[in-house]
Amino acid sequence: MFSRREFLQMAGVTAAMIGGQSAWSTLAAQQKLSQDDLLNFDSKGQVTLLHITDIHAQLKPLYFRPPSENYGVGMFEGVPPHLVAEEFLTHFNIDPGTPLAYAHTMVDYVNLANTYGRLGGLDRTATLVKEIRAARGDDKVLLLDGGDTWQGSYTSLQTNGQDMVDAMAQLKPDAMVGHWEFTFGQDRLEEIIDEMAYPFLGCNVFDNEWDEPVFESTAYFERGGVKVAVIGQHFPYTPIANPRYMVENWSFGIRPERIQEMADEARASGAEVVVLLSHNGFDVDQKLARLVTGIDVILTGHTHDAIPQALKIEDTLLLSSGSHGKYLGRIDLEVKNGKVVDYNSTLIPVFSDVITPDKEMSALIDNLRAPYEAECNRVIGKTESLLYRRGNFNGTWDDLICDGIREERDVEIALSPGFRWGTTLLPGQDITMDDLYTQTSMSYPNVYRTEMTGQQLHEILEDVCDNLFNIDPFYQQGGDMVRVGGMSYSCAPKNSMGNRISEMTLTRTGEAIEPNKSYTVGGWASVNEDVEGPAIYDLMEDYITKKGTIRLDNPQQIKVTGL
């Protein structure tokens, strides 16, 4: 009997022997990889925690290329999750060319994508969840949603998040937290929460007028005869990373003292297992694990990191379960005398081609998408380049968007936000409206046109860079660098604030960007109110349609130094 690891590696070797992109290699991989093998797991104890996070409204299977750079600084340099490519494979003892190598790294990505196919699809996730619930028993399983669930697709934007709310209700989570959920606005958020059959937890959000908690902080469950407390943590920088006017009556923050208070209260109430369901980001929660006592498990989200097993930090297990529905996280806990004494963990890659879709969820997804299916599938272009977004600096989707802004808004320089959401297209694929909206679907999409001095551009880059590379994770906001078009620069992540960005150059002329000179700049996703300009998805539809075929011959190169 093969172990799960041996099995996955054998599948990769078989596919590699048969050869890269042919249908035969796909068939061989699928014959070797089965649903039962994905579910194979050494169960432990009385409690199973299942974790999904950062789905970003993706109901269907997809491609999502892992990052080519994920730099850590200070004590987080060169350790998970800040490992990519061969370093990641070596650290986790994963052989190249295997399904796990494909799921977790960008090494030989296009070949492996053609071999192993898409991942995700909420109907496939539903199958895995139902199988685990059946095998363990419903009374032992908690399914927890880490947020960034409702936003990120054409249908989500058209339905104001209702498609995802309905789909998740069928999956039956036990609790959730949020971030991009808040960009639907306070009224819409409260409307959805009132209809939900499970709590929207958040101990770190307070009303500005009365300084009282806005949301339920902790939910209590009994699983396997064990009392479990789940404390919620919404994204602490929501009013900074997103428009403040959407949540103007609420204040956020990390509030570690509040988390400690809730953990102590949970223990005093008899909780034998305390879980923090968090949207802080991986490094913030690494610090919290060292700072707050009494938490057994942190299930983290926001930064879209995926690691094969939970990390043990002090007395706390920390697991991040990726994004876009690519993975299902699992931690089993054995509890004796009110204490976790043993555990096992895994991150299950949701290989779409080998998991039987859940019939009920598939039917619901088809029904939810039916009014929009024709528009979603409408082809607006074709790509000869690999289009992806995910990494500390520009991806090729970002380059394409910046090119579109520069041309359509007639500007010298384009700025695009460092979002980590958005799916991947392989060379040769059509570009559909569905694909475009996975990159641009949001409630403040206007593309502005303005003038900025070189000094202002430098300050913007420095400010965002500090949010990403501040040595104290409590001062990081979890996004990536603002993407740029029409200019290049050098970045030294280890330097101090104000000294990271240099060699700013206007690519059109090769001239240095001068501090006192003004440049025309276009960008989108401004957090300011009443921004004028076309919606980014409309602008990019026009641009891609005119181009027809997309080929990015000179991807943006940011010079990174000092690492």
- Closest listed residue to residue 522, CA positions, set 400, 408, 392: 408
User: Are the C-beta atoms of residues 288 and 315 closer than 8 Å to each other?
Assistant: no
Give residue 137's Cα distance to chain centre.
Answer: 29
75-95 confidence digits (pLDDT tens): 999 999 999 999 999 999 999
CATH T-level fold of 377-560: 5'-nucleotidase;  domain 2 (3.90.780)
DSSP letter assigned to residue 19: -
CATH T-level fold of 33-62+118-368: Purple Acid Phosphatase; chain A, domain 2 (3.60.21)
Q: Where do the domains of the chain lie?
A: 33-62+118-368, 377-560
Per-residue pLDDT band at 366 (split at 50, 70, 90): very high
User: Are the C-beta atoms of residues 468 and 558 closer than 8 Å to each other?
Assistant: no
Confidence (pLDDT) at 329:
98
Does residue 373 have a pLDDT over 50?
yes
Confidence (pLDDT) at 25:
45
Per-residue pLDDT band at 4 (split at 50, 70, 90): very low
Per-residue pLDDT band at 7 (split at 50, 70, 90): very low
395-443 confidence digits (pLDDT tens): 999 999 999 999 999 999 999 999 999 999 999 999 999 999 999 999 9
Per-residue pLDDT band at 496 (split at 50, 70, 90): very high
Residues 149, 52: Cα–Cα separation, whole Å: 9
For 489, the token pair is 């620069």
Residues 551, 386: Cα–Cα separation, whole Å: 9
Q: What torsion do the CA atoms of 242, 400, 147, 224 make, to the nearest 10 degrees?
A: -160
Residue 396 host element (H or E): helix 396-408
Confidence (pLDDT) at 125:
98
Looking at every residue in the chain, the average pLDDT score rounds to 94
